[in-house]
Structure 1
């Protein structure tokens, strides 16, 4: 099973590499396909870093416009995924600075492939008491994630909502992996402590 997943990932990377090469060669259809493959990821990142839907839509659109415009600048040192996530994160930061907003990180991220994480947990447990506990824990997590310092919130979002690996997060944020691990550890510890304190 793990071998199949690894093989699928390798095929996806090879296909992405071919699309990237074609896009860099001027093939607009390949560039559009490459960006479409990352559409949900970029949406999730923006949705979890920005509080307002209209900001999310604007930043997602700006991310893809900027990626298309700067595609020739992609050096290939990291993954394309890290590069486009870095664009999205930087645009989210810019939007927050301009609006001077307190960031909000929702747990319920719409997913075109299925229900949000909370609904999936609820579906596994038909017990109403368990569902109530999951909702309460989700509310606590949501509140605590809002309180995280911005870098910890970004790392937490990229790890748990965008499902990026540590190296991809480091590349997207322009920091080393050790820094990502530190921020992630602190964020998880803080969120876990708040949930455990509130729900003995």
Structure 2
């Protein structure tokens, strides 16, 4: 079996400085990191948690875990895969607790705001009709994800909603092999294809 992939892209200097300050107890630096990372946490939890789950509470719980774990973060790569791993594991815990595996439409309260942090969001589309069509399309795709096994869903969400690349996804899922991530993504896309063709004849 190939050696587990590592996410080796250097941390951006501004992010590194914030991490080091937060690790020394700088509250403002810690808050700046959380503001930057909240959209990633929100997208991941919102896409993975079942209907009726308190997503806001889950996001806050993940943020607490991130703060507590910052002291052990070694800075070998950017925060995103590390934080995504915390969010995925927390979502798994909630799913096991409720024994429910389902998805809900992805929405983000920050979509209409300028993201001042390290994980910028795309600029809002000036065409309201196009925005509406895009949101309807996202809702259809997310509803189709209910048909996927849990690991394929996690890979799909981290790739297309959290916007991580394959090495980062491998790191977020506990250092699995990149080839395994590719396999899960390929199988997810193949499983979804007939349902997509049915939904968009």
Which of the five TM-score ranges fits, normalised by the shorter chain?
0.7 to 0.9
1:149-188 alignment, distance < 5 Å: 149-174=149-174, 175-188=176-189
RMSD: 2.9
Gaps of 5+ in 2: 1-9, 114-121
Deviations 1:15-34 (A, max 9, x none): 11111111122212211211
TM-score, normalization by structure 2? 0.78
Q: Is the 8 A contact 2:101 2:150 kept in 1?
A: no
Per chain length, whose mean CA-contact separation is higher, i.e. which structure has more relative contact order (CA < 8 Å, sep 6+)? Answer: 2
Q: Is the 8 A contact 2:49 2:95 kept in 1?
A: yes
Distance in 1, Cα, partners of 2:82 & 2:168: 9
Gaps of 5+ in 1: 1-9
Q: Does 1:109 align with 2:115?
A: no
Number of residues of Structure 1 aligned to a counterpart in Structure 2: 181
Q: CA, structure 1 residues 30+190, in 2 after alignment: closer, same or farther (shift >3 Å)?
A: same
1:24-35 alignment, distance < 5 Å: 24-35=23-34
Partner of 1:124 in structure 2?
130
Higher fraction of helix: 1
Q: Is the 8 A contact 1:43 1:60 kept in 2?
A: yes
Secondary structure of 2:31's match? helix
For residue 89 of structure 1, report the CA deviation from its aligned partner: 0.6
For residue 79 of structure 1, report the CA deviation from its aligned partner: 2.2
For residue 162 of structure 1, report the CA deviation from its aligned partner: 1.1
Larger radius of gyration: 1
Secondary structure of 2:54's match? helix
